[in-house]
Structure 1
C-alpha cells in the first residue's frame, strides 16, 4: 500500500494548503538522496514477493460467505513475532486498505542462488498456515483478487449499513467499517481523494451481457440513499461503483528486486515494462464486480478509477482555472516513460510534468530522463499528511515517499531508504493474485528468472510506450490470453539503432502464446530463453524440478491448455445451477465459488483445467518440514 507514516491526520483543507510545501521539500529530499546514493555499487540480487490475502467466514447452514473484518486482530498477533525477533522470522505481515485484508511477505529477502527458487512456494505455504492457525473454524484465508459480492447488501461479518451522507467515501454500497481501522492513513486517503476530486469516485466497468441480461442494463439506486449523484455518474450497460474500497480492496501479487546499482535498476524498470500487460492478462482473475459478471477479466481499470483524484479540470472536462495540468491518467495506472538511455527513443507519449520541478532537478545535475520521471510524479498533490510529519529535515525521505508511494503504477523505481543497507530497487506491480501458492510461486519465479535472462543476455524488449498502453487496455479484456494480440518486440538481441531498423519495424503483433512459447522464425519465446539460461547453470535436481513445473504452468496458460483464473471463475458461475443467465452472482453462487476456491487452494478439490494434473496429488510433508528442507538446500547447509 505504500508509506505508512504514524501520526495525526490533517484535514483535507490543511493538507491542500501544505501541498506545495510537501512537493518542494520532497524534491529537495530526492536530490539529497540521489547524490548521496547515485554511485552506490555492488549490491547483490535480493528479491521478495508480496501476497495479499482476504479473510472469509463460511456460514454453511445459510450458504453465505461474508468477508470477515478481522485483519487488525490478526496483525496484532502476527506482528508480535517480528517485534520480539526481527531478524529471525520467516514471514512479515502488514496492513492493507480493507479490514478483511492482510499482506504477507518473506521474513527476509531471497537471494541470488537458484536454490532460492525452491523456497518461494514453501514460504507462501508457511505464511498461509501461520495466519490460518489464528482463525476460528469456518474462517478461511483466501488468495482472491476481488470479492465477488463486494458492495452487495450486508456482505461483511460483522455487518454494517452504509451512511452515504456522512461516511469518508459517501458510498451507497460500502460502509466505512470496511476500511482498515488500525491506521488512520486509509480512511484519510478515502476522504481526501473524494474531496480533492470534488465528487465521489466513479467506476464504470462494462457488464457481461448474457442471454437474459437486460438489453439496456440500467440500475436504480434510489433505495440505497442516493442523492442523485450516483445515478448521474452510472453509465448504461456498465457496473457502477463509487468507493475506493472497490479497487484498493482487491488483492494482488507483487515482486521487488534489488539491483546492483542505479543503472541496472533503470534498465530493469524499462525492460520489465512491456511485460506488465502480458503478466496482467496471464494472471487475470477478477471477472465479477459488485455481484455482477463483468465484460473484463482484470481489476486494473477498477482500481485506477477508485483512486482517481483528478478534478474535472484535470480530466479535461472543464477549462483549466484552479489547476495547472490536464492529466491523461489516474495516479494508479501504467507508467508514462522509460528511464534508461536506451528507452528514450521509445518515449512517444507526451509526458505531463512540472516544468519548475524539472528545471530544479536538472540544475541539481540529475539527467533528463530521471528528472522528467520525478517531475511527472510530482504533478500530483499529497492526499494524506500527518501533523507530526509536516516539518522534516532535507536528509529525511517522508515527503518524497508521500508523493512517490501514492503514484501507484505498473512499475515503481525505488530509492534506497536513508541509513539502510537496502539498495536501488524495482517493483513489478501488475499481477493479480492466484488461488494457489503453486500458481503465485510460478509467476514470481518466472518474473525473477526473466530479470536474470534480460541482464545476462542483454535483451532489449522495448517498444513505444504508446503500444504498452494499448496492450494494457487489451490485457483486461475478456479471454485476452486466447483472443487478443499484443504489440511485442521481434528482435530482442539488438538495440534496433545498431542495425538501422526503423522503429515501427522492431515490433509486431503477437499472441501471448507466441510471446511466452515462441513463434517460428519470428520470436524465440520467453520460456525457451529462460531454459537456455538455465541450461548453463548448475541447478540441483529439486530446484530444477520445481522451476520446470512452474514454467509448464505458464506455458500451458499462455497456450490456452489451462484456463486463467478469470475464465475459470466465469465458467463456474455460468454453469452453476442457480445462475439465471442474467449476469447476477447471487449469495449461493458466491458461497459455492468461494468454497470451491478454498478446496482448490488446500488441495482437497482437484482442478486440472486451472492448474494442471500434476498438482492434484499434494505432498504429505508438513509445511515446517518442507520449509526446513528448502532453506537448508538454499543455504547449502544440508
Structure 2
C-alpha cells in the first residue's frame, strides 16, 4: 500500500478544484516510473487475494509461531512494512489484546458455496478454531486491515457510494466495504474491555475498536444528538475543563485518552510537552475514527483541520478527484447555507453497519433527512462482483482464483489508464487531463 499526498494543500477556489485530478495523475505517473517491466500501479481498496498462498513476490510463508510479529496463519511478517512502527503496532496490538485479532467477514452464499461454510486451518493451535465464525471469512492479522487503501480528505453515505472491497483472502464476501475489516484488525481491547468478562485488571468497558465511527459531535448544535455511551477519563476531562477548554472538546480528548499508546519511540519518551505534541499524537493518531479532528502542532503555521476518512479508493483519478472535490464542495455548501444534516449518533452507527453490506447504496435503508442519490451507476464493489460472476473460471462457489484475480486486475488497469471505457461504473466523464 502506498500513501500519496499533494506537495502542498489545494486552495479553496473553483480553479483549484480543477487541478485535483491532474495532481493525482502526476503522482500516479511518478510512482509508476519506478516499477519494473510487467508491473503496474492499481488504485483499489483491498487486494482480493491478500493472505492467499503466493500473494507476495517473492513468496513468503506465514510464521504462526510465538517469535513471529503477527503469528498469522496467512500473513507473513515479510509483508509488513520494514519501518519499525508497523511491526511494533502489529505486535503490541496482539500483546495488549491478549490474543490475535479476529476478523470475520460474512461469506457471499452463491449456488455452490458450502453451507455451512467452515474452514480448517492445518497450522492452527486452536485459537483460529475458536475465533473463526461459521459462514465467515476469517483473518487474523493487522495487515488485513492496514494493508487496505482508502481516500481521505482533510476537511456515511460516502462509504456506501464509494464501496470498493467485496473480496477477502480469495473469497467473495457479503460485504462491500473495508471498514469492519480494518476496525477488527487493530482492535487491541482486552476481553474485559470488550465486555466478555467482568472488569478486574482494566479500568474501562470500551464499546468500540480504536478504529471505528465517531463517538461524539464536537459542535454545540450537535450536542443534543450525542445519544450513545461515551467512556471518558474523568481526571483528564477535569484537567481540561479547569484549563478553560470547551466542554465538548474536553469530553472528546478525555475519550481518546481511555486508550493506551501502542507505539512510542524510546527517544520520544521524555519530551517538553509545552513545545512538542508527540505524546498527544501517539494517542490521537492511533484513534482512527471516521472523522478526525486535528489541532495544529505547536509553533507551526498549520491550521485547524478535519480529516474525512470513510471513503474507499477508486480505480481512476477522475473518480477519486470527483469524490475529493465533492466532499470539499459539500462543506462549503453546509457552511454557506447553514444546513443541518446531523442525526443522532446511534443512527450514524446503524448507517455504518448498513453501508458495508452488499450493494447497500441501492438496496440499503439509511437514516437521512432526505433521499439525495439516484443510484444509477454501479459502485466499484458491484462492478467487481459482476466481473467475477461472469468469468468463465468462476464456479459459483465464492472462490476467487489466481486467474480470475489476474484478469480482474488486467481489466482494472486498462480502465484506470483510459484504455477502456466503463460507462456502467463511471459514466462518460469529460476532463482536461488526457
Tell me the TM-score range normalised by the shorter chain: over 0.9
**CA positional deviation for 1:114:** 1.1
Question: Residue 333 of structure 1 is aligned with which of 185, 209, 212?
Answer: 212
Is the counterpart of residue 242 in structure 1 residue 143 in structure 2?
Answer: no
Question: Residue 171 of structure 1 is aligned with which of 49, 60, 72?
Answer: 72
Is the counterpart of residue 412 in structure 1 residue 269 in structure 2?
Answer: no
Is the counterpart of residue 577 in structure 1 residue 392 in structure 2?
Answer: yes
TM-score in terms of structure 1 length: 0.67
CA distances 1:464-502 after superposition (whole Å, capped 9, x unpaired): 11011111111011111101121113xxxxxxxxxxxxx
Rounded to whole Å, the distance in 2 between the matches of 1:118 and 1:190 is 39
Which residue in the other structure is 1:361 paired with? 240
CA distances 1:429-461 after superposition (whole Å, capped 9, x unpaired): 000000000000000010000011011111111
Which residue in the other structure is 1:568 paired with? 383
SS in 2 for 1:296: coil
Rounded to whole Å, the distance in 2 between the matches of 1:619 and 1:139 is 27
Rounded to whole Å, the distance in 1 between the matches of 2:375 and 2:241 is 48
Rounded to whole Å, the distance in 2 between the matches of 1:418 and 1:240 is 43
Q: 1:434 to 1:365 in 2, by over 3 A?
A: same
Rounded to whole Å, the distance in 2 between the matches of 1:476 and 1:112 is 31
Which residue in the other structure is 1:121 paired with? 21
Which residue in the other structure is 2:271 paired with? 392
Q: 1:477 to 1:468 in 2, by over 3 A?
A: same
Matched ranges for 1:386-535 at <5 A: 386-395=265-274, 396-489=276-369, 514-516=371-373
Question: Residue 160 of structure 1 is aligned with which of 54, 57, 60?
Answer: 60
**CA positional deviation for 1:228:** 1.1
CA distances 1:56-81 after superposition (whole Å, capped 9, x unpaired): xxxxxxxxxxxxxxxxxxxxxxxxxx
Question: Residue 112 of structure 2 is aligned with which of 212, 222, 229?
Answer: 212
**CA positional deviation for 1:365:** 1.3
Is the counterpart of residue 229 in structure 1 residue 44 in structure 2?
Answer: no
Which has the larger displacement, 361-370 or 409-418? 361-370
Matched ranges for 1:265-280 at <5 A: 277-280=156-159
Q: Is the CA contact 2:314–2:320 (under 8 Å) kept in the aligned structure 1?
A: yes
SS in 1 for 2:40: strand
Q: Is the CA contact 2:94–2:101 (under 8 Å) kept in the aligned structure 1?
A: yes
Rounded to whole Å, the distance in 1 between the matches of 2:154 and 2:74 is 34
* Runs of 4+ more than 2 Å apart: 618-621
Is the counterpart of residue 373 in structure 1 residue 188 in structure 2?
Answer: no
Q: 1:614 to 1:428 in 2, by over 3 A?
A: closer
Which residue in the other structure is 1:17 paired with? none
Gaps of 5+ in 2: none
SS in 2 for 1:567: helix
Q: Is the CA contact 2:273–2:279 (under 8 Å) kept in the aligned structure 1?
A: no
CA distances 1:174-232 after superposition (whole Å, capped 9, x unpaired): 00111111x2100000000000000000000100000000110000001xx21111111
CA distances 1:531-585 after superposition (whole Å, capped 9, x unpaired): xxxxxxxxxxxxxxxxxxxxxxxxxxxx232100000001111110000000000
Rounded to whole Å, the distance in 2 between the matches of 1:434 and 1:383 is 31
TM-score in terms of structure 2 length: 0.98
Rounded to whole Å, the distance in 2 between the matches of 1:350 and 1:363 is 23
Q: 1:577 to 1:619 in 2, by over 3 A?
A: farther
Question: Residue 424 of structure 2 is aligned with which of 594, 601, 609?
Answer: 609
**CA positional deviation for 1:620:** 7.8
Rounded to whole Å, the distance in 2 between the matches of 1:200 and 1:170 is 8
SS in 2 for 1:315: coil
Q: Which of the pair is proportionally richer in strand?
A: 1
Which residue in the other structure is 1:288 paired with? 167
**CA positional deviation for 1:515:** 2.1
Is the counterpart of residue 594 in structure 1 residue 406 in structure 2?
Answer: no
Query: Highest CA radius of gyration, 1 or 2?
Result: 1
SS in 2 for 1:486: coil
**CA positional deviation for 1:368:** 1.4
Which residue in the other structure is 2:6 paired with? 106
**CA positional deviation for 1:355:** 1.0
SS in 2 for 1:239: strand
**CA positional deviation for 1:619:** 6.5
Q: Which of the pair is proportionally richer in helix?
A: 1
Q: Is the CA contact 2:22–2:433 (under 8 Å) kept in the aligned structure 1?
A: no
Which residue in the other structure is 1:317 paired with? 196
Rounded to whole Å, the distance in 2 between the matches of 1:394 and 1:362 is 18
**CA positional deviation for 1:412:** 0.4
